[in-house]
């Protein structure tokens, strides 16, 4: 995240008693921790301060020897706000003696951050190995912390082979899990579509990197298939040797009422190896986890490896699954 101002204009700070905080010291920490978070004097992040003194009028100054070097503190993460009475407590991080101590304040979002949110998360450069993934900020300023809800988008160059960790900007390697909280099975992270990792406070939840499954030839925008003999319907994972759960994107104002299945389908491994074929209406049913944004179906089959990744494909030009709004 880039450095953004904590306010739109310079703030005159006051004590908890309502008096001007003359000579007090302002210090930031990573939200809900006592790990110091440096503040920048502007958006470039070129000049960083561990703490700053407030002048005789209560405004932050970058040079404690004068009263004229005022600035608006800039931070690059959500932060703990602590106002100390003296420099000694600020240097020792004695938050118990602080006059004001606010544990969690969300950082302001600048134009760059807003653009990242609009497009589904900050794009990161992929690195590391297939199962030990490192991500590097495309921005010139690296991340210093990750907050719950942060999204990162990347394009992998290798398919994962099993349980996977993700480490953005060297902060920490954290386990990646699927949408149901399970360790990733082989093939979950693909190379033919972007992957989005969302931090839930404990793990990175990985959105399935589905291919574009909506087609201009479909009259029903929630229709999957009916365009080719081996059309990809969705990607899923085996919950057992006889049951496959497949996911695909939908966009509704309310959960779907059901769906219809026409024609037959086959289950393949990611490399195209056919595991089962001739699956129809009797083998495919809607799942209880289907929501307004993600469709999920259960497929009854055989010959699967539990927790492995598989694909559901249409076998003919008339095979299709239609979600009923």
Flag whether 218 is in a domain: no
Domain boundary among 177, 207, 237: 207
Question: Could you tell me the pLDDT band of residue 111, with boundaries at 50, 70 and 90?
Answer: very low
Structural element, H or E, at residue 243: strand 243-249
Provide the pLDDT confidence category of residue 299 given band limits of 50, 70 and 90: very high
pLDDT tops 50 at residue 113:
no
* Domain termination residue (choose one: 105, 131, 148): 105
Please tell me which of 49-58, 59-68, 218-227, 266-275 the model is most confident about, judged by mean pLDDT.
49-58
Same domain as 26, residue 70: yes
Mean pLDDT lowest among 17-21, 65-69, 239-243: 65-69
| Domain total in the chain | 3
Q: Which is more confident, 272 or 176?
A: 176
Domain that holds residue 68: 4-105
The Cα-based distances of 2 to 76, 78, 140, 141, 199 in angstroms read: 5, 12, 8, 6, 18
Candidates 19, 21, 71, 66; CA nearest to 44 is 71
pLDDT for the residue numbered 227: 59
Q: pLDDT-derived band of residue 218, with 50, 70 and 90 as boundaries?
A: very low
Residue 238 domain-assigned (yes or no): yes
Domain end call among 207, 237, 268: 207
Residue 215 covered by a domain: no
Tell whether 176 and 242 lie within a shared domain. no
Q: What is the pTM of this model?
A: 0.38
Give the mean pLDDT of 69-88.
92
Dihedral sign for Cα 234, 236, 241, 243, please.
negative
pLDDT interval class at 112 (50, 70, 90): very low
pLDDT-based confidence at residue 264 (cuts at 50, 70, 90): very high
pLDDT band at 271 (very low <50, low <70, confident <90, very high): confident
Note whether 242 and 288 are same-domain residues: yes
137 and 183 in a single domain? The answer is yes
User: Are 68 and 80 a contacting pair, CB within 8 Å?
Assistant: no
For residues 58 and 120, membership in a common domain is answered with no
Q: Of residues 263 and 151, which shows the higher confidence score? A: 263
CB 293 within 8 A of CB 196: no
- Pairing of the two strands 265-268 and 274-279: antiparallel
Residue 191 or residue 203, greater confidence? 203
Is residue 217 in a domain?
A: no
Average pLDDT, the chain: 81
Cβ burial 146-173 (10 Å sphere, 16+ → b, else e): bbeebbbbbebeebbeeebbbbbbeeee
60-64, 238-242, 244-248 — which one is most confidently predicted on average?
60-64
Which is higher by pLDDT, 111 or 108? 108
For the ranges 131-140, 237-246, 302-311, which has the lowest average pLDDT? 131-140
The rounded distance, in Å, linking the Cα atoms of 39 and 57 is: 20
Same domain, yes or no: 79 and 122: no
Is 37 a domain residue? Answer: yes
Residue 81: inside a domain: yes
More confidently predicted of 179 and 308: 308
- CA separation for the pair 168, 124 (Å, rounded): 8
- Within this chain, do residues 95 and 124 fall inside the same structural domain, yes or no? no
The answer to whether residues 245 and 294 belong to one domain is yes
Q: 53 and 142: one domain?
A: no
User: Does residue 256 belong to any structural domain of this protein?
Assistant: yes
Are 115 and 95 members of one domain?
no
Q: Is residue 214 part of a domain?
A: no
Per-residue pLDDT at 17: 85
Q: Which of 16-20, 120-124, 150-154 has the lowest mean pLDDT?
A: 120-124
Would you say 26 and 59 are in contact if contact means Cβ atoms under 8 Å apart? no
Section 120-125 average pLDDT? 66
Distances (CA, A) of 156 to 159, 166, 167, 211, 213: 7, 12, 14, 14, 20
Instruction: Look at residue 163 in the predicted model and tell me its pLDDT.
Output: 95
């Amino acid at each position: 995240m880039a450095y953004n101002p904590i306010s739109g204009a310079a703030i005159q700070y006051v004590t908890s008693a309502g008096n001007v905080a003359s000579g007090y010291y302002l210090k930031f920490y990573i939200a809900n921790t006592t790990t110091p978070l440096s503040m920048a004097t502007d958006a470039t992040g070129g000049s960083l301060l561990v703490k700053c003194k407030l002048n005789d009028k209560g405004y932050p100054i970058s040079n404690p020897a004068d009263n004229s070097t005022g600035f608006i503190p800039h931070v690059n993460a959500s932060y703990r706000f602590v106002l100390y009475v003296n420099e000694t407590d600020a240097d020792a991080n004695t938050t118990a003696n602080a006059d004001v101590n606010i544990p969690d304040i969300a950082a302001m979002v600048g134009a760059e951050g807003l653009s990242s949110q609009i497009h589904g998360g900050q794009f990161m450069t992929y690195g590391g190995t297939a199962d030990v993934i490192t991500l590097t900020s495309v921005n010139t300023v690296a991340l210093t912390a990750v907050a719950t809800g942060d999204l990162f988008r990347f394009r992998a160059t290798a398919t994962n082979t099993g349980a996977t960790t993700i480490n953005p900007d060297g902060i920490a390697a954290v386990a990646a899990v699927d949408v149901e909280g399970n360790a990733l099975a082989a093939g979950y992270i693909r190379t033919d579509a972007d992957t989005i990792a969302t931090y839930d406070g404990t793990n990175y939840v990985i959105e399935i990197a589905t291919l574009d499954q909506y087609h201009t030839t479909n009259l029903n925008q929630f229709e999957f298939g009916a365009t080719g003999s081996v059309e990809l319907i969705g990607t899923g994972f085996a919950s057992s040797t006889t049951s496959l759960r497949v996911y695909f994107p939908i966009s509704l104002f309310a959960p779907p009422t059901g769906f219809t299945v026409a024609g037959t389908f086959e289950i393949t491994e990611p490399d195209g190896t056919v595991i089962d074929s001739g699956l129809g209406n009797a083998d495919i049913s809607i799942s209880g986890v289907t929501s307004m944004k993600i469709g999920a179906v259960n497929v009854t089959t055989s010959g699967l490896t539990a927790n492995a990744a598989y694909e559901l494909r249409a076998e003919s030009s008339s095979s299709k699954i239609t979600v009923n709004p």
